[in-house]
Each structure stands twice: as C-alpha cells, then as structure tokens.
Amino acid sequence: MKPAPFEYHVPDSLEQALALLKEHGGDAKLLAGGQSLVPAMNFRVVQPGVLIDLNRVSELAYVRQDGENLRIGAMTRERTLEIDPLVAKQSPLLEEAMPHVAHPQIRNRGTLGGSLANADPAAELPVIMLALGARLKARNVSGERWMEAHDFFSGMFTTALAPDEILVEIELPPDLPHTGWSFMEVAPRAGDYALMGVAAQVTLDENGRCRQARLVYLNAGDGPVDAKEAAKILGGEMPNDDVIEAMAELVSRKEINPFGNIHASSDFQRHLAGVLTRKALKQAIERAGEDGLQ
Amino acid sequence: MATRYFGERIKRNEDPRLLTGQGLYVDDVDLPNMLHAAFVRSPYAHAKINSIDVSQALQREGVAAIYTANDLGDYWKPGPLLVSPPPVKDIVFNEKTQVPLAKDKVKFAGEPIVMVLAESRYIAEDALADIRIDYEPLEAVVDLEKAIQPDSTLIHEEIGSNIAAHVVQTKGDYDAAKKDAALVIKRRFSYEHGCAAAIENRGIVAEWDSRAGRLTVWDTTQAPVVIRNGLANMLGLSERQVRVIAPFIGGGFGPKIMMFYQEEVLVPWVAMKLNRPVKWIEDRAENFVATTHERGQIHDAEIALDKDGRILGVHDVFLHDTGAYAPYGLTVALNSQANVLGLYDIQNYYSEFTAVFTNKTIVTPYRGAGRQHGVFVIERLLDLAAKELKIDRAEIRRRNFIQPDQFPYNNEIIYQDFAPLVYDSGNYEPLLDETLERIGYHKFVNETQPKLRAEGKHVGIGIVAYVEGTGIGPYEGAKVQVMSSGRVSVVTGVGTQGQGHFTSFAQIVAEQLSVDVNMIDVVTGDTDQFYWGAGTFASRGAVVAGNAINEAAKVVRKKILKLASEHFNAPEDELELADGMVKVQDLPRMSISLGELAGKANPMRGAVKPGTEPGLEATSYFGPERGATASGIHAMIVEVNPETLQIHIQKYLVVHDCGKVINPLILDGQIHGGVAQGIGNAFYERLAYDENGQLLNGTFMDYHLPTSLDVPRIETGHGVTLSPLNPMGVKGAGEAGAIPVGPLFAQALEDALHDVDFEILEIPLNSNRLWELVSGK
Ligand SMILES: Cc1cc2nc3c(=O)[nH]c(=O)nc-3n(C[C@H](O)[C@H](O)[C@H](O)COP(=O)(O)OP(=O)(O)OC[C@H]3O[C@@H](n4cnc5c(N)ncnc54)[C@H](O)[C@@H]3O)c2cc1C
C-alpha cells in the first residue's frame, strides 16, 4: 500500500497551479484534501505521474457573501461548511448534510472542491449541490466558465471538467421564502458512505401549496439522481399523505436506479428510498410551513 | 495486615509506556543496511502457474534479490502441522499445510508466489508490478456443499476429494433418546467468515549476526518459543543460536498463533542468505487475505426435548471450512463440536463434522475459536424449543443447567486438548439470577416491553449462556528473581498482545512477596530471557503462565524467609514481609530490604553451601491436567428501526465466572473487547466472497468493524467458582466476551421484531440481511 513514484509540485498561487496543470495535462492529478485520492494512490488504483498540491493555494479557501449569493472556494474544508455561520444561514440543507460526510478527522482535510470533482455517486455534496441549484466555476490558463450543478456531474466518478481545468468556486443561491429542507440517509455506521440518502427542498406559496420541490438521491444511480417526475407530482398541490405516498412510490420504483452492493441489495436500497422520501418530505414541508405561513 | 495485590483493580503497569509511545513494536525495529520485502500474491483463488518472469524486476534500481518457489531449493517444504488429529475412532484426516511460496498452483487469492527484496518497501512494491506471471485460472472451490460433491474441482488432487477431515463423536444414544421426545426441532444454521482485524498487522524483522552465529527475529507472534524452535530446526541452527522476540503487539486474537506463516519461514532465511537485516511489515490489504480467517460453518442440527423442555439429546452434522490448507488441525471444529453441549446436562449427543478445503484464506482460531458456532446452534435450538413449548427462555435454560453437585461433569467427547471434555467446576444458576435481576428481565418483559410495543417501538431483550474451555496445557514456565535494586523480575515464555500481563503477572508476585506492583518488571516473549513455553492461546495466559509465576514466587518467598532468618538469627515464623522489606515482628529496627538480601544471597567471599544456589530466584513450571471451564450469561436490550432495520443497543450486560479474579479492571477490559468483537461478528463483519473466491471487501471501508458509536457501555458481574485444577483457582477469560453474541443478537432481534414471523438462523447479520429475513426474501 505504497504509491507508485510521482513528481510533486506545490504551487503557491492559482496561476502557478493552472500553468502546471496545462504543462502536465492528463498525467497530472490535483491534490486537495487527499482523502479520496491518496488511498486510491496507495492501492495503486490511480498512478498519476505528477501531483499538483493545492493546499498552499490559499486564495481558493473562503466562504463569502456576495449580494444574495454565497461563494465558496473549492479548497474550503468540509469541516468549515459544517460550522460556518454563513453556510448555516444561506443553506441549512448543506449544514444539515455535513455531519453525514465521513468522520470529523476526514472532514478536517477533505474539501468541497475535492468531493465534487471526485463525483462519487454515494457522496453527499454533489446531491446537495443539485438540490440547491448551485453553480460551479472552473478555470484554466486562458479563462473561466460557469456550469450548473446539473451539467457538472456527467456520470460515475466523472465530471464536465477538462484535464486542464480546476474547479475554483461554488455559488449557492438563497432559498426562496417558505422553503423547507431535509437531509436524511441510512448508513451502516456513522460516517460510512450511505446505502441510500435523500436531500429534499420544498417551497410553498402563501396558501401552503407547493410552489416547487426538489428531491435528489445519493447512491441511487451513476451520479446524484434528481427525481424530477416525483417532484412534479407535488407541484401546485397542498401536500398530504397521499401525494407523499405517490412520490415515494414513484421514486423507489422508477426514478432511481441503485446498483446494489455487498452492503445492500438494490431492493433494499429502493425500499430505503421509499422510507426516506416519506420522512424527508414530511420534515421539509413542516419546516417550510414554519417560515411564517398563515 | 499486608497490602493486598491479588484481586485488586490496579491500573496497568504498561500503560504509561504505551500511551507515551515508548512501547517497541516490530515496525519500530530499524536496523542499518536493512532490506524490505514485498510479495507477489495470487490474484486468483485457484489457478495453475505456467511461468514466472522476474527478469525485468531484477533490473529495477534498488532491487536486491527476488525468489520464487524454485529458488528456495531444499528449503521449500510444506509447513509443520501444528496440532495433530485427535485420538478419535475412525477419524479421517488429510494433512495439507501451506507452502512458503506457491509452486505450480495457487490455492487462494492472496497466496504468496514471489518474494522481492529491495532497499525500500516502495521500490519493492514497484518491482512487484514488473513481474510477469502466466496463470491458467481454474474453477474456484468456494461453496462448502458443492466442494464435497464427487464431481467437484479438487484443490489438493492427491487427496482425491476436498475433504480435510471427518470426525464423529458421540455420547449416549441420540436415536434412542429421541424416541421419547415430546418435541423435536431441526434447523439449518450457518455462520460466515470474519477476521480478527487486529490493530497491528503482522510483521517480521530478522537479523543474522554472522560473527556471533546468531539469528535475531522480531515477530508479531503469540508463540515466540515455538517459533524459535521451529526456525532453528528449519535453518539448521541450534535453538541457542536463535532469539525470537515478540515485543509489544497490537492485538493477537488467535491468527498470530498460526505457525508458520509463509513470511515467517522466508524472512529469517533470506536475512541469513543475503547477510543483511530484512523487514516485512504486512499492510492492511495483505492482512485481509494473508492472515488467517475464522468461522465458516453450516450445521444441520436437531434437538429432542421432553414436554417440560428438558433436553433429551442433540444431533448435529456440520461442514467446516478450513480454507486452502489446515495447518492448525481441527481445533476450531472440535471447539464447535464441544460447545454445542454448552452448560447443559445433555446425556445424548451425536456430532459429526466434515472439514472441507476451499479456495479461501486459511482458517485458524480467532477469539472464540469455533465456540461461537457451537453456542449459536444450541442457544438457537433452545429459543425455538422455548417458543414451541411456551416456556420462558430463561427458564428453559435454567431447567437444563448442569447442577453444582454434578462437577466434575464429563461430556465424554474429546476436546481440543485431546483430553475428554470434562467441566471442572461451575455454578450457573446464580449467574442467570444475577443477570435477570440486573437487566430487569421480568419487569422488562411484563411491563416495559408491552408499553413500548403499544407505542409502536420495537425493543427486544436477549439472554444467552455459554461455557468457555480455557487454560489448557501443555505447560508454561516462569522465573522470578529479586534484583539487587530491590525490584523483582518476572520472565515467562508467553507472548503478550495487550492482555495486561505486565500488571496481572506482577500482582501475583506482589501478593507472594509483598512488593508493590510497580516494583515488578515483567518480561514476556523473549526467548533469550526464558527458554521454555508454548504460547498465548486458548485463554491460557493467566491460568498456565500465571500459576507457574505463582509457584516460582512461592519458592522465592521461602528463600527470602530462610535467608532472612539466618541473617537476623530469628525463626522464620517471626519474620514478616511488607513493602519490599523483611522485618522481625515487634522489632522495628530489625529489617532488611529485599534488594540487600538479594546481595547477601550472592556472596563474593566464602562459599555457596552445597545444595543451595546463589540469588533469590526460582524457576517453576505449571501444566494443568486439563482446561478450566469458565461460564457466563450475556443479556442485551436492543431497539430496531422496523423500516430501516438499523439497530441501537440500549443495554448490554455480561455476568460470568472465571474463577478467582486477579485484576477486575483488566478482566473488564477483556470482556469489553470481546463483546466489541462479538458485536462486530454478529452484526457488522462478514468477509464477502464471490463465486470466484475473490474477497469483495478487503478494506476497512467495506469490512465494517463496529466503531465506538456501535459498541454500547458494557456492564459486568462476576460469580466465582474456583477451579480445582490449579492452585490459584483461576480460569481464563480472554474469549468470554466474544462467544455468545451471535445467538444473543438473534434472540433479541426476533424479540424486537415480534410482529413479524421469522427466524434468524445465520450470523453475521446486517440491516440488509435483516430486512431480507423480515420481508421473506
Ligand atoms: C473513511 C472515509 C469515509 C468517507 N466517507 C464519505 C462519506 O460518507 N461521504 C462523502 O461524501 N465522502 C466521504 N469520504 C470522502 C471525503 O469526503 C473526501 O474528502 C472527498 O470525497 C474528496 O475530497 P478531498 O478534498 O479529500 O479530495 P482529494 O482526495 O484530494 O481529490 C479527489 C479528486 O478530486 C480531484 N480534485 C480535487 N480538487 C479539485 C479541484 N479543485 N478541481 C478539480 N479537481 C479536483 C483530485 O484530483 C482527485 O481526483 C470519505 C473518505 C474516507 C477516507
């Protein structure tokens, strides 16, 4: 469990990092928190010729309010997302999900950018990004571009990032008024990747009807799974048990595509998706209602 | 009244060293000019090796040497059989032990094929990728039942089948007893593989001193003396030329008693051959496939009872998975066979097992060592019977307990130590009563649980019982010596892996010599310090080594009194030992420290009189005629989420009897650790093999150990029946915590999910499996 030989660079600035990445291209890997990359290197599953360590690129670690949006640098540690008051205020869903991401020791090192770029279908953060409608900014030596979270995740451990691009920033929009949230998952032990998990955001109108809903699942397909059809059922409706039941059914039977593994069969994963959908929706609707509805 | 040491809750002597990072572990041994070893291990569970090409790897800078089986010459031979077959009539036993490096065929995934030596472990691992091996994959033998079909692929062709052994043992006449039965219950039970997952993996460092003609080996073994003897024999050296040191070890649990691991044979040999120190430290990926596993049995068991729930007899036929080789003989299966009898008065027993070779990692004892499987069978059968007969589960056990006046109780079959399975002592009902009382059984069942159920909560209770055969022979020895500083040295041959030997052994001596515990230095696991011994296994350290130490300390005490009596010219019965001094009663100024006395015992002038020896020291040996039987009851209250099938243990209690207790604090630690492993084994840990014999979860990401959040606070209680088989009256306790947790989970989870009609007949479980069982999948 020792990595294969590699060349190591530790740039001080984003410019230097981008230049190194352009120079070494596909043979290089960016090192963020190392919590996914280093084990993979020790198992020799990944053998990059060049490692570009981003840990001294301090300009990439920040949480900043910018008008009504929140901007988070890619090198922001997972632990920061868990405890930063700006995050809690802007996106209680993100704050609620964070304790489920690995263990505190790992969150102290692991980064938001690393988790998103890693694009593990069982990871929490990609799911949260979709649920919140986040936008992601990538840079290369010649410029920058913005992507919707939807377009960023392109499959199992793959993203829309080009080999010369670094994910630099994540932008979180504010929740609409009367928005409730819920994050729930079932993991074998605390800190494990979950067998199934769901992020729910529900926005009600003044009359308590659903204005918009979003349900995104982890470990339910080859990336974060946005259950759009189920969410549509709730649109315009007064939330009630029948609607919720219909949504849970649709999600667990149709909209997700869990693969099953040694810890959970796909049947059990579907069953859990149903259980979690019911609970999470109820909680999100209740929280939406607490926000000053008549 | 002198201070008491034996039986006190004394904090561990070794902890300051360990907690400040001062303990020496094998990987801390760093010698100049040292080479590092790495192994090519088979990716296939079963394959022919057509050719091996190491030429490219030899070119790599920093590679010193590479060996395949053919390069070992005469040194290549199958390892020794550690435990020969038991003297049972009509036994079938096909001996097959592991080889240092696979030659023509690999028999499990992870089996070493090539050894690389390089200037660093990094380079050695780089070189592994340069080696080309042409394999011809063969069908893997994985399934126990298919393995014994006549048309099965064979692992060891020369045997003509995959049967490692077949053993039948009986007591009384089951078939006759069954005729009178009011109830007969028959089920199939299975118990899957798990591993010990010690915090420290294995490791070996060997250094050959060619001028002194001495080989020194640091080894994470539980049996340094036996390794010393074996290595001397294999390497053509005298035992005095070989020193094996088992320093601090981060957990043994059984797999580190396996002898000889391939690496243990190879690393010392190559250190001599290249005349350079060599280090091999197993990494976790290797540990999952290369260090031995346990469990893996299928039982077809039947119990016959009368209408009052008294057991008339038990019939059990089982398959036992030995993995690819069986160097440890039949210990695990014999333990399973014995433990089906539990602590119950069973007069008629038929037990038959077939040990089966499969293309999996070798199976040897791991904490519990087969007892778990046997206990699972009998405890589950009793639960099923209780349900059918509408008898309370605690009551059905009570009715069948062996009574105090029945000891020694003869179970007639042969046990792992090859002596008949005779329980020396025990008193089970008080243990059960204390358990019921402390867990609040009757109140829970009659009041609390119905209320919880009405609230829609799924909370269950479990109560199970077990015996643990401990402290078997052959023997251990110890030397106790008063040093001139007044400190006392204790050396013994067993290895230590975290059991607190540095304290509990010290307490035994402290009690005899009235010296403070922290004045006593215990050395274990260094063959230059103590020559004789067997090893740490079968919960025998305290019983066997402990009694040897006690005997030696008694002799030293006599010597102290004799010499002091001469010194003071006072009769021995007027002398008193206290606080490291000998005093003459009522004459406070007449006193001498043990250190000074030790100096006087080693005179520089005059003569040591004939028939006496210099020094205040003694060496003694102890070998019990057979094992001492400990016993206990575990109880638990557990809540289950009926939708997600996640569990939460609310209360866990162990009440047990291991005879006289040396240190209750250390004992609690042993129980807690055992329960934690038991919980892992019952609900979290399962080595998952696919049909090709590939381990699917060989990392801690996927092999789930229970964490601190999953293991509850564990309460303990102690009953004491002294073992008549040793002067201290102690019994072992190393495995007590781990043994009955499987059936406890099964019973409590069925109880929690009372509204579903289902049976738990297998271990380990997890949420997924539980969901399948309750939803009939
Ligand atoms: C025991 C354990 C349990 C875990 N459990 C969970 C869990 O339950 N849920 C969960 O979500 N995660 C879990 N993780 C993963 C953890 O959250 C990781 O930290 C995270 O997935 C990766 O973040 P990192 O900063 O460590 O990235 P790294 O490991 O450094 O990098 C991961 C990948 O992303 C690339 N990368 C990193 N930063 C950038 C960037 N800015 N731009 C482009 N590419 C980049 C790297 O090149 C690499 O390919 C667990 C990890 C461990 C070790």
Cβ pair B612, B718 in contact under 8 A = no
Residue range B124-147: mean pLDDT, rounded: 98
Model pLDDT for residues A201-224, shown as the tens digit of each residue: 999 999 999 999 999 999 999 999
DSSP-based three-state secondary structure for A237: coil
CA neighbor of B414 nearest in space, from B50, B168, B775, B131: B168
- Tell whether ligand 1 has an atom less than 6 A from the beta carbon of residue A124: yes
Q: Which residues of B touch A275 (CB under 8 A)?
A: 643-644
For the ranges A71-85, B207-221, B465-479, B751-765, which has the lowest average pLDDT?
B465-479
**Distance between CA atoms of residues B433 and A199, nearest Å:** 49
Closest CA to A135 of A185, A72, A45, A222: A72
User: Closest to B126 (Cβ–Cβ): which among A5, A189, A275?
Assistant: A5
Sequence spans of domains, chain B: 15-22+473-622, 31-138+196-290, 297-472+625-774
- CATH code that applies to domain B15-22+473-622: 3.30.365.10
Atom of ligand 1 nearest to the CA of A75: 41
User: How are the residues of chain A apportioned to helix, strand and coil, as percentages rounded to the nearest 5?
Assistant: 40, 25, 35
- The architecture that CATH gives domain B297-472+625-774 is 2-Layer Sandwich (3.30)
Residue A258 tokens read as 């869990």
Integer Rg of chain B from CA: 28
A113: CB partners within 8 A, 6+ apart:
A32, A60, A73, A74, A75, A76, A167, A168, A170
Give the distance from residue B718's alpha carbon to the nearest chain A alpha carbon, in angstroms.
32
Helix orientation angle between B331-339 and B371-389, rounded to the nearest 10 degrees: 20
In a domain, A97, yes or no: yes
Which of A186, A188, A271 lies closest to B704 in CB terms? A188
Are A76 and A43 contained in the same domain? no
* Chain B stretch 259-298, residues whose beta carbon is closer than 8 A to a beta carbon of chain A: 283-285
Summarize pLDDT for B728-771 with one digit per residue, the tens: 999 998 888 999 999 999 999 999 999 999 999 999 999 999 99
CB of residue A30 inside a 6 A radius of ligand 1: yes
A219 is a domain residue: yes
What integer pLDDT is reported at residue B60 of this predicted model?
98
pLDDT at B552 over 90: yes
CATH number reported for the structural domain that contains residue A151 in this entry: 3.30.465.10
Percent with pLDDT over 90 in chain B: 92
B15-22+473-622 matches B297-472+625-774 in fold? yes
CA-to-CA separations, A60 to A54, A172, A175, in angstroms, rounded: 9, 16, 24
Contact B777 A267 (CB under 8 A): yes
Q: Which residues of A touch B40 (CB under 8 A)?
A: none
Do A198 and A240 fall into the same domain?
yes
A4 at the B interface (CB within 8 A)?
A: yes
Confidence of residue B404 (pLDDT cuts 50, 70, 90): very high
CATH number at residue A41: 3.30.43.10
Same domain for A113 and A189, yes or no, is no
Alpha carbon of A223: minimum distance to chain B alpha carbons (Å): 20
pLDDT of residue A293: 59
What's the Cα-to-Cα distance from B194 to each of A253, B333, B738, rounded to whole Å? 34, 15, 13
C-beta of A101 in contact with ligand 1 (< 6 A) = yes
Give pLDDT, residue B609: 77
- Taking CA atoms only, the protein residue closest to ligand 1 atom 37 is A114
- Answer whether residue A2 is part of any domain: no
| A168 and A186 housed in the same domain | no
Q: How far does the centroid of ligand 1 lie from the alpha carbon of residue A123, in Å?
A: 9
Domain B31-138+196-290: top CATH class: alpha beta
Which atom of ligand 1 is closest in space to residue A32's alpha carbon?
A: 30
Contacts of B30 by beta carbon, 8 Å cutoff, 6+ apart: none
Low-confidence ranges of chain A (pLDDT < 70): 291-294
Averaged pLDDT score across all residues of chain B: 95
Min CA distance, A97 vs chain B (Å)? Answer: 19
To which residue do tokens 């010649």 refer? A142
Q: Find the CATH number of the domain harbouring A254.
A: 3.30.390.50
Question: pTM score, two decimals?
Answer: 0.96
ipTM value: 0.95
pLDDT value for A292? 61
Q: pLDDT tens digit string along B622-668?
A: 999 889 999 999 999 999 999 999 999 999 999 999 999 999 999 99
Q: In this complex, is the C-beta atom of A45 within 8 Å of any C-beta atom belonging to chain B? A: no
pLDDT in tens, B7-56: 999 999 999 999 999 999 999 999 999 999 999 999 999 999 999 999 99
**Ligand 1 mean position, distance from CA A41 (Å):** 13
Helices B371-389, B741-752: axis angle to 10 degrees equals 30
A157 in Cβ contact with A189 (< 8 Å): no
Which of B313, B306, B221, B305 shows the shortest CA–CA distance to B258? Answer: B221
SS3 content of chain B, % helix, strand, coil (to 5): 30, 25, 40
The closest alpha carbon to B28, from B347, B337, B247, belongs to B247
Q: Do A190 and B709 touch (CB under 8 A)?
A: yes
pLDDT of residue A294: 46
Tell me the two tokens of residue A17: 């990092």
Please tell me the total count of domains within chain A.
3
In the block, residue with structure tokens 């126990």:
B144
pLDDT tier for residue B190 given thresholds of 50, 70 and 90: very high
DSSP 3-state of B588: strand
Q: Which two tokens stand for residue A206?
A: 């003044």
Does residue A1 sit within a domain?
no
- How many Cβ atoms from other residues are within 10 Å of residue A128's Cβ? 31
Helices B741-752 and B664-679 sit at what angle, rounded to 10 degrees?
60
Determine the Cα angle at B663 with ends B657 and B666, to 5°: 90
At residue B269, the pLDDT reads: 98
Pocket test for ligand 1, best of A9, A47, A106 (most atoms within 8 A of CB): A106
Q: How far is CA B269 from CA A224, B34, B164, B217, B352, in A?
A: 54, 14, 30, 11, 41
Minimal CA–CA distance to B632: which of B469, B396, B754? B469
CA distance B751 to B399: 21
Q: Rg (Cα) of chain A, in Å, rounded?
A: 19
Q: Does ligand 1 come within 6 angstroms of the Cβ of A197?
A: no
Token pair 């259980």 is found at A275
- For residue B301, the number of C-alpha atoms closer than 13 Å in the C-beta half-sphere is 31
Short-list B607, B654, B652, CA closest to B632:
B654
Supply the range of the domain harboring residue A102.
Answer: 58-172
Say which of B285, B646, B696 has its CB closest to residue A186. Answer: B646
- Together in a domain, A153 and A202: no
pLDDT tens, B373-387? 999 999 999 999 999
Residues A99 and A45 in one domain: no
Question: What's the average model confidence in pLDDT over B73-85?
Answer: 94
What is the rounded CA–CA span in Å between residue B29 and residue B307?
A: 64
